Structure 1
Amino acid sequence: MAGNNSGPRKPFGQLDSKKLDDVVAKAHKQRDTRMAGYREQSLKLHPWVCGRCGRAFTRENLHELTVHHKDHNHDNNPADGSNWENLCLYCHDNEHQRFAYLVRGEGFMPEADKKKPATHNPFAGLKEKLKNR
C-alpha cells in the first residue's frame, strides 16, 4: 500500500551533525535564559506552595503558580528572592486587586489596616448623667 505512514519515519540522507549541534546549543541557551528569569529563580529558592492559601503544586500544575513582587516593583529582583513570594493564580489576582483598591484610596492592605485610636467615646459624660438620676 503506497503512502503508508505507520511507524517511525526513516531519515532521508545523512544527518547534518552541525545542524543538530546548533539546535542543541540553541536549546541550552534558551534554557539558560529562562532560568535567569526571576520566576525560575523563585521556583528554585521557594517551595512550590502558595504563600497565602497553602496550596501545593507539582510539575503538572506548576504553571498555575506565579511569582509576586512584594513591593509591586517588577524591576526589584534581588538574587536572594526577598522581594518574591510564590502565589497561586487566585491569590495573586486577589493581591493585585487589593493593591489597586489601595492605590485608588478605596481598599485595604495589612499595613493600612493597623488599628487607629478611637476618636469617639460613647460613654463620655455617662458618670455625670448617672449622678443626676
Structure 2
Amino acid sequence: MGQSFRPRRPGKPPVRSDAELDEMVRRMRAEQSGPGSYREQSLKIHGWICAKCGREFELNNLHLLTVHHRDGNHHNNPPDGSNWENLCVWCHDDEHSRGVLGDYLDDRSKK
C-alpha cells in the first residue's frame, strides 16, 4: 500500500495487535461490499455511471466504479444516498488529490 498524504492527527494512534487489525479490515470490507452495503445501495440509487466524467460501466468493469463520500465521513451513509456519488477510480483519485493540492498550496501561501 502506498504512503498516505492525509494530515496526521495529533497524538499517537493506539497500538493494535495483528488480530485486531485483521478484524477491523474484515469488518470494513463487509460494510463496503456485501449485499445491502452502502456501495450496493449507491449503485442502485445512482446507477453504473461516473458522476464526474460520465463513463458508463458494465458488470465486467464495475469494480472500477467507487463510492465517494461527499463530506469525507465514511460512516455517514444515509439510506437516501445523499452523501454518496459514484466516481470511477480515476475521478475519485482526482477528487482526493485536489484537496491535498489545495492544502499544500494554502500552507505554502502562509509562509
Q: TM-score, normalised by structure 2?
A: 0.62
- Classify the secondary structure of the residue corresponding to 2:55: coil
Structure 1 residue 36 displacement after superposition: 2.3
CA deviation after TM superposition for structure 1 residue 105, in Å: 4.7
Deviation sequence 1:49-97 (CA, Å, 0-9, x none):
1000000000011000000001111111100000000000000000011
Give the 4+ runs in structure 1 shifted more than 6 A: none
Counterpart of 1:92, as a letter, is H
- 1:1-133 aligned at under 5 Å gives the runs 34-102=34-102, 104-106=103-105
Aligned partner of 1:48: which letter? W
Counterpart Cα distance in 2 of 1:34 and 1:83: 19
Q: Which has the higher helix share?
A: 2
2:34 partner SS: helix
Q: Which residue of 1 aligns with 2:22?
A: none
Q: TM-score, normalising length from structure 1?
A: 0.52
Q: Which amino acid aligns with 1:62?
A: L
Q: Mind listing any 5+ residue stretches in structure 1 that lack a counterpart?
A: 1-29, 108-133
**Aligned counterparts of 2:61 and 2:89: Cα–Cα separation in 1:** 11
Question: 1:122 corresponds to which residue?
Answer: none
Percent of residue pairs identical: 57
| Residue-pair matches, total | 75
Cα shift at 1:101: 2.4
Larger RCO, structure (CA 8 Å, separation 6 or more): 2
Gapped regions of structure 2 (runs ≥ 5): 1-29, 107-111
